[in-house]
Amino acid sequence: MTQAESVSDDGVLRVRVATAPWASELSLMTPRILARVNAGRSGRINSIRWIAGPLGRRD
């Protein structure tokens, strides 16, 4: 499970993930994920910071 937290002014997307192993796996996939996130967008995400920890509740 993942949960987007914020995007900084310099294009860093912060994403909270449920476990450290999942954060590690996603970090290996970051180039592909960035390509898909930025496809067809005028704004750019320059990097993704994967943060392991408890996810917030979604309503």
Per-residue pLDDT tens digits for 30-48: 999 999 999 988 889 999 9
Three-class SS of residue 17?
strand
Domain boundaries, the chain: 2-52
Burial of 50 (0-12, 13-18, 19+ CB in 10 A): buried
Distance CA 31, CA 9 (A): 20
Kindly tell me if the per-residue pLDDT of 15 is higher than 60: yes
Residue 6: partners with Cβ closer than 8 Å, 6 or more residues away: 13, 14
Answer whether 0.95 is exceeded by the pTM.
no
